[in-house]
Amino acid sequence: MNPNIPQTDRKRVVIVGAGFGGLKLARNLSSRKEFQVVLINKQNYHEFQPLYYQVATAGLEANSILFPLRAVFGNCKNVHIRVTNVTGVRTADKAIDTELGPITYDYLVMATGADTNFFNQQNIIEKALPMKSVSEAIALRNRMLQNFEDALSVETLDEREGLMDVVVVGGGPTGVELCGTLAEMRKTVLPKDYPELDFKMMDIYLIESGAELLGPMSVQSQEHSLKYLQGLGVNVRLNTRVKDFDGRIVTMNDGSTLRTNNLIWAAGVKANPLAGLPAEVIGRGGRVSVNRYSQVLGFTDVFAIGDVAMMAEEKWPNGHPQIAQPAIQQGKHLAKNFIHWIHNEQPKEFTYRDLGTMATIGRGLAVVDLPFLKFQGFFAWLTWLFVHLMSIVGVKNRLSIFLNWMANYVTYSNSLRLIIRPKLPKGDVTAMKEKLSDQLEVSKT
Ligand SMILES: Cc1cc2nc3c(=O)[nH]c(=O)nc-3n(C[C@H](O)[C@H](O)[C@H](O)COP(=O)(O)OP(=O)(O)OC[C@H]3O[C@@H](n4cnc5c(N)ncnc54)[C@H](O)[C@@H]3O)c2cc1C
């Protein structure tokens, strides 16, 4: 019971999940003497999810977007970090079960985020590549690097297409940003005129079931993102749904097919509630229904914040968007309410302040929707860069990620460059080019 967590007379707040919401809450309670904070996470680091796509395309190293939890809290003795998987909650016992043993709580906060939603499509679950954790982003990068290596040696155009072409499903910010970076990578990072492999053969497809990209954004942003992606050579297919994927062929709802081994799934998320809650509090997309104080309906000591929570406001009848800002704001607000409760003061209802949405497309372009202003292009990209840097924990981390990013930006240095084999002697080059152009001719006929 309570793996080495000291017993004190402070109220114990157990926070499950060190994402945007859980981390904010833990930081804001860390200096309060009234509480003992227990922060539980599956990994010993916080992951900055909005930059997964940079890791997947080898623009940033994984450690640039991972922040060790114990470094975030320094010497703070009031925060007890345990790295384990929480398997369920027993509300009657005021305890959660973890792989380290049970932990009791006075207050429990679920900040467990969301997972990829494959909508129960078994073939896609087995064969598609998700990007909902840093390990999945690294797996994606490794797959792409290996594909380029393998493409050097295959005999047929069909095999080469299968290895090099990429189909991304989902025209939300993740799909749009990933396609933009893949296209930019094809244009700037991968070697031009490389004799053994023509990177122009790499086709990138973005499949979106809706009528526009970036669904919740303004029409200007939707139109600009489409224009920017098409300008970078991404094949965007709107009003199209991926129906099946057997590891080689992607089949769409209109019967058309695409040949690729690489289907990247960015088409939705489902919330990650803890097992053991009453079924009636679990709503659409697995989100846990909470009131405006983040209390799970029917409980005064169990809370949910961020992607896992469904809090309806007049302006947001179906809950807040599953993005970083609601999670951060709810974490901050709940910390204040805990202080109100413990001092027998009136807690305050949460109101989401929509600070706007943005997405970047390649190097130097973005679309930004602020509540009173919408703009696109390079200035939007600078805004996107500034906002993302400011969301990163700690000034040192911000500086380090900025320098790392800029170094890559300016020099186009990238591990993809290093991985490509050295050039062939001249004679072989001519033979290879002839072989490639023959194959291209065949494929066109
Ligand atoms: C690829 C990608 C790009 C994105 N881009 C943007 C963007 O540009 N802007 C934006 O605002 N949002 C973006 N988002 C969404 C944003 O990252 C999420 O909305 C945000 O992370 C939600 O925060 P959270 O605190 O609710 O949960 P999360 O940040 O998901 O954190 C949940 C934490 O809980 C832990 N956990 C879960 N279950 C358990 C368990 N049983 N036991 C122990 N630990 C557990 C997880 O390991 C994780 O650390 C993006 C998301 C992805 C995947």
DSSP, collapsed to helix, strand or coil, labels residue 80 as strand
pLDDT value at residue 75: 83
11-116+269-342 under CATH 3.30.1330.10, yes or no = no
pLDDT value at residue 440: 45
Q: Which residues line ligand 1 (CB under 6 A)?
A: 16-22, 40-43, 49-50, 52-53, 85-86, 111-113, 131-132, 173-174, 272, 306-308, 322-325, 327
Looking at the DSSP assignment, which residues form a beta bridge with residue 262?
Answer: 166
pLDDT value at residue 335: 98
11-116+269-342 and 122-267+414-439, same CATH topology: yes
pLDDT value at residue 422: 40
Instruction: Report the separation in Å between the CA atom of 310 and the middle of ligand 1, taken as the mean of its atom positions.
Output: 15
Nearest CA to 60 out of 48, 70, 46, 42 is that of 48
Rounded CA-CA distance 31/331 in Å is: 15
Instruction: Report the separation in Å between the CA atom of 176 and the middle of ligand 1, taken as the mean of its atom positions.
Output: 18
Cβ–Cβ < 8 Å for 388, 60: no
CA 255, chain centre distance (Å): 30
Q: By CB neighbour count within 10 A (0-12 exposed, 13-18 middle, 19+ buried), where does 409 fall?
A: middle
DSSP secondary structure string, 195-254?
TT--GGG--EEEE-SSSSSSTTS-HHHHHHHHHHHHHTT-EEE-S--EEEE-SSEEEETT
Tell me which residue has its CA closest to atom 41 in ligand 1: 86
Domain spans of the chain?
11-116+269-342, 122-267+414-439
Instruction: Report the separation in Å between the CA atom of 52 and the middle of ligand 1, taken as the mean of its atom positions.
Output: 11
Q: Which atom of ligand 1 is nearest to the CA of 305?
A: 26
Tell me which residue has its CA closest to atom 53 in ligand 1: 132
pLDDT value at residue 442: 44
The answer for residues whose C-beta is within 8 angstroms of residue 156's C-beta and 6 or more apart is 439
Instruction: Report the separation in Å between the CA atom of 223 and the middle of ligand 1, taken as the mean of its atom positions.
Output: 28
Instruction: Report the separation in Å between the CA atom of 131 and the middle of ligand 1, taken as the mean of its atom positions.
Output: 11
DSSP, collapsed to helix, strand or coil, labels residue 433 as helix
Q: Which residue has the tokens 């809650």?
A: 277
Q: Which atom of ligand 1 is nearest to the CA of 132?
A: 53
pLDDT value at residue 201: 84
CATH topology of domain 122-267+414-439: FAD/NAD(P)-binding domain (3.50.50)
Q: Which residues of the chain have pLDDT under 70?
A: 189, 191-193, 408-445
